[in-house]
Amino acid sequence: MTQKKPSLAARVQALQSPQRLPAIKGIRRGIERECLRITPEGHLAQTDHPRVLGSALTNANITTDFAEPLMEFITPVSDSVDILLSQLTDIHRYVMQHLDGEQLWPLSMPCFLKADEQIRLAQYGSSNVGRMKTLYRQGLHHRYGSQMQVIAGVHFNFSMPDSFWSEWHALEGNGGCLQDFVSEAYLGLIRNVYRYGWLIPYLFGASPALCGSFLEGKQHHLPFERLGEGTLYLPYATSLRLSDLGYTNNAQADLNISLNSLDAYVSSLQRAIGTHAPEFAKIGVKVDGEYRQLNDNVLQIENELYAPIRPKRTTESGEKPSEALASRGVEYIEVRSVDVNPFSAVGIDKSQIRFLDSFLLWCLLTPSGPLEEEEIALNRRNFTKVVLEGRRPGLELEVMGGEPLTLAALGERYFAELGDVAGLLDACCGQGCYGEAHRQQLAALRDPSKTLSARVLARLQQDSLDIQPFGLALAREYREQLEQAKPGYWGDVYFDEESVRSLARQRKLEMSDAISFDDYLTAYFGTQAG
């Protein structure tokens, strides 16, 4: 007989005891912030990734995502919010000093785009691993088009300290393996994010509008309204980035990636990588001697799985993410549903990080049963409602096994529990800042005009602005702000040296390849790729 899990209240009470409270201190976080390089006129940059910034393949902090102009800034893992933001700011500051007049687009949805062909795929050099990264992006281009791939977001990596896991395992682990307990708990957290994660786009969605060029040639059925000459918006939308216009893959809808156990997750993910997709087979894998994609499966590689949150484990050289999870368990989780905050020069602010800490710990401590097909479908419907019309007065969301409730009523219920978790964090390490972040977001729940999406739309409507001049004005403001900023954690010498080191690492990789690219892909996938 399965032992009943303690309630959230019981868990919070147990952790509040003086001997256990210090175990919570030391939450570890990392941030990956994406942003487009643009010209001073606000067009997508056509230049190469600046060589002065080092190798996009091997630089620890400054790289690229899908396209040459889509930059990605990566912080190390830190248990200090202040250090984390200082590091992120230093990366931005250093990059700004080396953009030669270019700027960084401060919104999730891209600037004016002429055509897919304008978007240059990211290049990583001639090594086999570098060529594979570019070919993966070539496959994404053929499968979904490049415009979808230059949408930017903020990824928030989160893990609890070892001290917490030791204490909680002693409380609830029943003598089992610690790492198995940790993995099971993180998967429970992830299942709860699927249940309650609509709160993130409601509060932190910042893409209610987009440049009309993004929709040219695309079919959609959304009732857009027009603002200015070329801006389209939905009056109550929170995050068009997370809608069907953004990061979606219809071919993945029937994959049924299970989150009910680590073994089930890994096996269903690996099965997806081997699932043939007839629509992608039409593209071809290797045509006239040139690769078009890595393979013709639903997922070329595991990174192609579009999910608002993922279980993660740091990989070793040549290791696939699912192999790392299977062999060593879940190490941390990656939240991918946070829009770029256009009111922050670095895309996220301290209050957001504090709230995410509270929200994710709440999801971890709240009992989390298995996710079955009916509830998965319900969660998807709720999430879609919130990203498209989350600020609509009286909007109702579905409740598993109950009558629908308004978003406001459900939010109040959740925020009452979130307040207890914020109090727990303040008691061990917050000095009141978690309570303040909680109150700030509760105010946005009660007054939708205080959400990021509403603030963006209000600025556009107030000044009768298109999204393009709005974004460009912010880009100029942040350029000046960052150029004048003083180093907070890293000085220029650190970045200069990392640039040199990264170029040396790339050259070493290119010189050490002992097999052909065809053989490299064969070895990686275990079957002939071409």
pLDDT tens digits, one per residue of 379-411: 999 999 999 999 999 999 999 999 999 999 999
Instruction: Give the residue among 49, 522, 508 at the shortest CA–CA distance from 291.
Output: 522
Does the pLDDT value for residue 76 go beyond 50?
A: yes
- Cα–Cα–Cα angle for 247, 250, 256, nearest 5°? 100
Render the burial of 480-491: b for 16+ CB within 10 Å, e for the rest: eebeeeeeebbe
Question: Residue 412 CA to chain centroid, in angstroms?
Answer: 26
What DSSP designation does 257 have? -
Percent of the chain with pLDDT over 70: 97
CB 191 within 8 A of CB 309: no
pLDDT for residue 9 is more than 60: yes
Q: What is the DSSP letter of 431?
A: T
pLDDT digits (tens, 9 = 90+) for 341-365: 999 999 999 999 999 999 999 999 9
Higher pLDDT, 250 or 137: 137
Q: At which residue do the structure tokens 């999204």 appear?
A: 467
Please tell me whether residue 413 adopts helix, strand or coil conformation: helix
Q: Are 363 and 384 in contact (CB under 8 A)?
A: no
Q: How many C-beta atoms lie closer than 10 Å to residue 283's C-beta?
A: 16
Over residues 5-12, mean pLDDT: 92
For 8, other C-beta atoms within 10 Å of its C-beta total 16
pLDDT in tens, 166-196: 999 999 977 789 999 999 999 999 999 999 9
pLDDT for the residue numbered 253: 63
Average pLDDT of span 308-314: 96
Give yes or no for residue 523 having a pLDDT over 60.
Answer: yes
80-108, pLDDT tens digit by residue?
999 999 999 999 999 999 999 999 999 99
Residue 44: CA count within 13 A, CB half-sphere: 26
pLDDT of 459 higher than 70: yes
Percent of the chain past pLDDT 90, that is, above it, reads 84
Phi, psi for 345 (deg, rounded to 5) = -65, -20
Note the pLDDT of residue 14. 94
Instruction: Find tokens 């899908």 and name the residue.
Output: 66
Q: Is the pLDDT of residue 520 over 70?
A: yes
- Specify whether the CB–CB gap between 294 and 342 falls below 8 A: no
- Give 251's DSSP letter: G
Average pLDDT over residues 288-298: 94
In the predicted model, is pLDDT for residue 127 greater than 60?
Answer: yes
Give me the pLDDT at residue 508, please.
97
Q: Per-residue pLDDT for 213 more than 70?
A: yes
Q: How far is CA 327 from CA 186, 314, 449, in A?
A: 16, 11, 47
Q: What is the mean pLDDT of the chain?
A: 93
- List the 231-233 sheet strands across, edge first: 209-211, 231-233, 225-227
Q: Of the ranges 4-8, 220-224, 284-288, which one carries the lowest mean pLDDT score? A: 4-8
Residue 390 per-residue DSSP state: T
| Chain-centre distance for alpha carbon 262 | 21
pLDDT mean over 270-292: 92
What local confidence, expressed as pLDDT, does residue 530 receive? 38
460 pLDDT band (50/70/90 cuts)?
very high
Among 508, 501, 511, 512, CA closest to 54: 501
* Total-model pTM: 0.96
The CA dihedral of 337, 341, 344, 348, to the nearest 10 degrees, is: -10
Q: Please name the residue ranges forming H helices in 18-161.
A: 81-96, 128-144
Residue 247 has pLDDT above 70, yes or no: no
DSSP state of 51: G
pLDDT at 249: 53
pLDDT band of 3, cuts 50, 70, 90:
low
